[in-house]
Amino acid sequence: MRNPVGAIIHGYSSLKIRPTLRRIRACPHPWSTLFFLIWPFPWRYSLPYPLLSVEEIEKYPNIHEERQPGIRELYNIPIYRIRDTPLRSLYRLVEDLCASDFIMMGYECTYFFFHREPRWSLACIPDPRDKDPIRYAILASMVEALVDAFNWRLEHGIRRDNTTDKSEQRSSNFMREEAPSWTSKIGPVAKPLAFREAGSSDMTMERHFLKRNIRVPNDICSESNQAKRSTFFIRAPGSMAAFPTMPNSHH
């Protein structure tokens, strides 16, 4: 049996102490990040209140970076992954979308996909009962779009435990993702809403957003846009969810 003290000192514990400390030092505010990670209450992180409206994020598009400091490092910190929740991840996706930061949306989608815990199943996402009807519609559309994108990945043998199924049955021998029941109850927004990536020319809209009067382009992860990015994207046909390949995102 391993010595737990030695495990911490030499960095081979399941919490990956030494890599975690390196990632914390790389965050914009290391000390506050460390406190955030080790303070045990509540054990599951709560939503980042106050929740921002679409108008607030559009007015200050960089505010989501202030609300998600060091998020790319946090993705790879085990204790953060344990304490994070699918609903928090979903709200980060909404902030990224409202800020038209489609690249960060891609990283967040990949982070979400490679959570294999049952509570991270899309069908298990609890109803946020958001009081903002626009944000509520975006949340519902986002979940349904993720269902399409996740199932497309699964059909191609990419599994949520970061393994690859290369068998002939890979397109069917998995449990398909489904949307939670609450999303079907959310109707369209009163006024049309549109989000577009700078330089985007694709007029094809993601269907789950479109049915709620929200226009989100599909070309954020098309072949023509890959050259503009440092990451590789794959997507489900008809889905807005982009997935940059991050082989180190799952630990």
Q: What is the pLDDT of residues 15-60, one digit of tens each?
A: 889 999 999 999 999 999 999 999 999 999 999 999 999 999 989 9
Q: Strand pairing of 193-194 and 243-244?
A: unpaired
Domain range spanning residue 165? 40-244
Q: pLDDT by residue (tens digit) across 156-215?
A: 999 999 999 999 999 999 999 999 999 999 999 999 999 987 666 656 789 999 999 999
In a domain, 65, yes or no: yes
The tally of domains found in the chain comes to: 2
In a domain, 208, yes or no: yes
Could you tell me if 99 and 44 lie in one domain?
yes
Could you tell me if 25 and 55 lie in one domain?
no
Helix (H) or strand (E) holding 67: helix 63-67
Could you tell me if 54 and 20 lie in one domain?
no
Could you tell me if 102 and 159 lie in one domain?
yes
Could you tell me if 7 and 63 lie in one domain?
no
Could you tell me if 27 and 46 lie in one domain?
no
The 10 Å Cβ neighbour count of residue 231 is 14
Q: Coil, strand or helix: which one is 51?
A: coil
Mean pLDDT on 118-123? 98
**Joined tokens for residue 235:** 């997507």
User: Looking at the predicted structure, is the pLDDT value of residue 248 above 60?
Assistant: no
Could you tell me if 25 and 99 lie in one domain?
no
Could you tell me if 137 and 105 lie in one domain?
yes
Could you tell me if 23 and 141 lie in one domain?
no
Question: Residue 217 and residue 228: Cα distance in Å, rounded?
Answer: 16
Residue 230 burial by Cβ neighbours in a 10 Å radius (0-12, 13-18, 19+):
exposed
Question: Residue 188 and residue 185: Cα distance in Å, rounded?
Answer: 10
Could you tell me if 6 and 101 lie in one domain?
no
Could you tell me if 72 and 183 lie in one domain?
yes
In a domain, 140, yes or no: yes
Find all residues with CB under 8 Å of 51, minimum gap 6, and list them. 91, 130, 132, 135
Could you tell me if 31 and 68 lie in one domain?
no
pTM (2 d.p.): 0.85
- When pLDDT is cut at 50, 70 and 90, the band that residue 244 belongs to is low
